[in-house]
A and B are shown apart, each in its own frame.
Chain A
Amino acid sequence: MISFLALVRKDLKLFFSDRRAVVIGLLVPIVCGTFLGYLFGGQGGDAEPGKVNVLVIDQDNSDISRGLIRQLTDGGNFDLKPATVETARAAIRKGKATAAIVIPKDFGSDAGQALFAGANKPEIGVLYDPSHRVELAMVKGILSGAVLEAVSREMFSGRSGRDTVDESLARVENNPQIAPADRQALGDLLRGVREWNEREAERQNEPSNRNDSSGQSPRSAGLTLPYQTRDQAITSGENIRYNGYAHSIGGMGVQFILFMGLDAGISLLLLRQSGLWQRLRAAPLSRATLLGSRAASASLIAGFILTVLFVFARLVLGVHIRGSFVGLLGICAAFSVMTAAFGLMIAGLGETVEATRGYSIMATLVMVMLGGAWAPTFIFPKWLQRLTVVMPTRWAIDGLDGMTWRGLGFSSALAPIGVLLLFTLLFAAVAVMRFRWRAD
């Protein structure tokens, strides 16, 4: 036991002796985690969400097209800028804009008539960057709602709307192909619209409404979406907002602790080539003492890194442990031990230091990527989400999420802890079986 403790103490002293490396080792996951956390919403969306860069080419320049542009601008989802077709194409090709909306000539009149008659629908061109398909769907959805509101508002209250209704009424009344009863019904509808339109115009001319700088009717005169959504984030409790940093700090902690484990494995490989290994092997030490002490020190260092990260996240980034604190400790401890076993396995499987460093970095990055440390696994395709349960990192990250912002209880920590410990046994078994004890 004296030798075991001395070896652990030595590893810890060596780790803390290089203070610059310790600081950098802690700073890098903090910086990366903070950055990713900010991108994923920071502390509950206090930060203004990024707007989609959209260009608009107004070839119509009608009341309806201007109203549509105003509607899109006021929606707050787009950073909308005017452009020509050529400049829009160039900007999208260079990645400066996500999409461009081309409002064609005569859009206003064609859209108005299409609203009532359903024919001759004008086409709004949408130019887009193929690497932004998700934003494209968003642009088209928002555009649909805005067009419906802008066109119907103009039809029910605008000057061009009155002209369009008059034209439509004349066409209906003079169209012999429409059955008399239908002609009567359509005429009544259009006359009702015209009457509504005239009243709206009078209302807008009243002195109390004339000074409205927006130029719009104080109430929407057109069609609007017949529903609103009430968004409610389901977190660990009422009035508790999602904190994007909780996931990212956990994820980056997992990544950089795995790198620490990798370093521990590589250093063991280097040790085996040195006189120190001969000195250690010449002493009456069991193999369990030699490898166990290395695993214990790596676990303690991993635990230390996780502790610093979560303390920083609590104090600076407002990350709370909403779930079981004991569960969090359990997951951190299990992941730390697993990392240590991972390092030993690397040392066991490694032949040369250079080759081992290469393939173990690749393995670590794959584990981190598929475990959801960079981006949450819920954005993965379904098949990949099912596949990644074989990754210990997935269990660690999901477990940390559960104990932090999801606010789950200790029972939810048992599965991640169990799986991580199983991986620990697996890695340790491979390490013991493959470790070459003879000095190189």
Chain B
Amino acid sequence: MLEVNNLSKRYGDLVAITGVSFRAGAGETLGLLGPNGAGKTTTVSIIAGLLGADSGEVLIAGKQVKRDTDPVKQMIGLVPQDMALYDPLSARDNLTLFAALYSLAGEKAKRAIDGALDLVQLTDRAADKVRTFSGGMKRRLNLAAALLHDPQILLLDEPTVGVDPQSRNAIFDNLETLKKRGKTLVYTTHYMEEAERLCDRIVIVDHGKVIANDSVQGLHRLLPATNVIAVELEGVDSFLPEPILALPEVKSAEFVDSTLRVGVHNLARGAPGILRWLADRGYSYHRISSEQPDLETVFLSLTGRSLRDSQ
């Protein structure tokens, strides 16, 4: 459904993206994961036809978007990162306008609007002005506005920024419904847990380049370690984790917010040695836990730095 081939884009001397390629099929959710400034929004903007690429191509069902009024654009729905709504107008007025942009009018538009409002559970607020909505409701309406023309591909540029957990879950439910309807979702985020929950395939982008492109399971297989032991150290603000790398079974180590996270091949064999090493050096700890490696760990493993630190 969506094919991105070798996209590159520069802004003067700044390379925004280079050689970005990926594919997404019908009913597939593809996550574009990376820190801010990695090139996610540039990639989405090129797919949506907002930006021209310096090189490479985007194919929507095998066709390129060549001009402003290209019918291929009917197949794309964009949910911009910034709220794209007219606050002084009602939710229905907003959706009526956005439906008209795709030549939907009359009964056809009404059905589409009712369906979208129903999906995002805002039917009872349809007549209210958007300025009276909460941030989460606006985000849901922002999503609904992209669905009116029933696009095959939905581009979601960080659609949950600044929303409360309840609204975030509601949006996830909406997206899962859309996925079940066979839509192709391209979801950009820097929240690893969102990508892990929603995406079938994840493209990790850093400094404008694709550094990994695989399923969640496949990305985990990239990791040298299969388990992580997390130790919350008491009264320690800074810690150099490198010496721990010399211990048996240890494959990675990082220290963030008083927590030492150490990747090990085998938890049972690796954990005692790490705890002993800490005790010998006078460190005390009040909590120990083990976890499966997440995408944060994958990013750390691939780039040598934490995704959070890269924001």
| Contact across chains for A274 and B86 when beta carbons are under 8 A apart | no
| Contact across chains for A282 and B50 when beta carbons are under 8 A apart | yes
Contact A284/B73 with A6-B100, A10-B97 known, Cβ cut-off 8 Å: yes
As a 0/1 sequence over residues 68 to 104 of chain B, the CB contacts with chain A under 8 angstroms (1 = contact) are 1111011010101111111011000100111011111
Could you say which of A6, A276, A278, A438 contacts B48, with CB atoms under 8 Å apart?
A278
Name the prevailing secondary structure of the B interface residues.
Answer: loop
Q: Does A118 contact B (CB under 8 A)?
A: no
Q: Which residues of B have CB within 8 Å of A88?
A: none
- The CA of A283 and the CA of B69, in the complex, are separated in Å by 8
A276 nearest CB across to chain B (Å):
5
Closest to B100 in A: A6
Q: Does B45 contact A (CB under 8 A)?
A: yes
| Contact across chains for B73 and A438 when beta carbons are under 8 A apart | no
Closest to A283 in B: B101
Contact A2/B70 with A13-B89, A439-B45 known, Cβ cut-off 8 Å: no
Q: Does B49 contact A (CB under 8 A)?
A: yes
Closest to A14 in B: B88
Could you say which of B69, B70, B76, B86 contacts A276, with CB atoms under 8 Å apart?
B86
| Contact across chains for B45 and A2 when beta carbons are under 8 A apart | no
Interface residues of A in 271-287 (CB under 8 A from B): 274-276, 278-287
Q: Which residues of A have CB within 8 Å of B70?
A: 284
| Contact across chains for B100 and A274 when beta carbons are under 8 A apart | no
Q: Which residues of B have CB within 8 Å of A286?
A: 68-69
| Contact across chains for A287 and B68 when beta carbons are under 8 A apart | yes
Q: Which residues of B have CB within 8 Å of A3?
A: 100-103
A248 nearest CB across to chain B (Å):
33
Q: Does B145 contact A (CB under 8 A)?
A: yes
- The CA of A17 and the CA of B94, in the complex, are separated in Å by 13
A6, A274, A283: residue with the most chain B Cβ atoms closer than 10 Å? A283
* A-B CB contacts (within 8 Å), total count: 89
Q: Which residues of A have CB within 8 Å of B45?
A: 278, 439
Q: Which residues of B have CB within 8 Å of A9?
A: 97
Contact A285/B101 with A14-B88, A278-B78, A439-B45 known, Cβ cut-off 8 Å: yes
Q: Does A238 contact B (CB under 8 A)?
A: no
Q: Which residues of A have CB within 8 Å of B78?
A: 278-279, 282
| Contact across chains for B84 and A6 when beta carbons are under 8 A apart | no
Q: Does A202 contact B (CB under 8 A)?
A: no
What size tier do the contact residues of chain A reach? 20 to 34
Name the prevailing secondary structure of the A interface residues.
Answer: helix
A153 nearest CB across to chain B (Å):
74
| Contact across chains for A2 and B50 when beta carbons are under 8 A apart | no
Q: Does A48 contact B (CB under 8 A)?
A: no
Q: Does A18 contact B (CB under 8 A)?
A: yes
B68, B81, B142: residue with the most chain A Cβ atoms closer than 10 Å? B68
| Contact across chains for A13 and B93 when beta carbons are under 8 A apart | yes
- The CA of A11 and the CA of B142, in the complex, are separated in Å by 19
Closest to B67 in A: A286
Q: Does A7 contact B (CB under 8 A)?
A: yes
Interface residues of A in 1-45 (CB under 8 A from B): 2-3, 5-7, 9-10, 13-14, 17-18
B9 nearest CB across to chain A (Å):
11
Q: Does B51 contact A (CB under 8 A)?
A: yes
| Contact across chains for A283 and B84 when beta carbons are under 8 A apart | no
| Contact across chains for A438 and B50 when beta carbons are under 8 A apart | yes
Q: Which residues of A have CB within 8 Å of B49?
A: 281-282
- The CA of A14 and the CA of B74, in the complex, are separated in Å by 26
| Contact across chains for B85 and A6 when beta carbons are under 8 A apart | no
22 A-B pairs, CB-CB below 8 angstroms?
A2-B100, A2-B103, A2-B105, A3-B100, A7-B97, A7-B100, A13-B93, A14-B86, A18-B88, A274-B82, A274-B84, A275-B81, A275-B82, A275-B84, A276-B84, A276-B86, A278-B50, A279-B84, A281-B50, A284-B73, A286-B68, A286-B69
- Excluding A6-B97, A6-B100, 10 further A-B contacts by CB distance (< 8 Å) are A3-B100, A10-B86, A274-B84, A279-B78, A279-B145, A282-B48, A286-B69, A438-B50, A438-B51, A439-B50
Where the two chains meet, the residues of A that have a C-beta atom closer than 8 Å to any C-beta of B are 2-3, 5-7, 9-10, 13-14, 17-18, 274-276, 278-287, 438-439
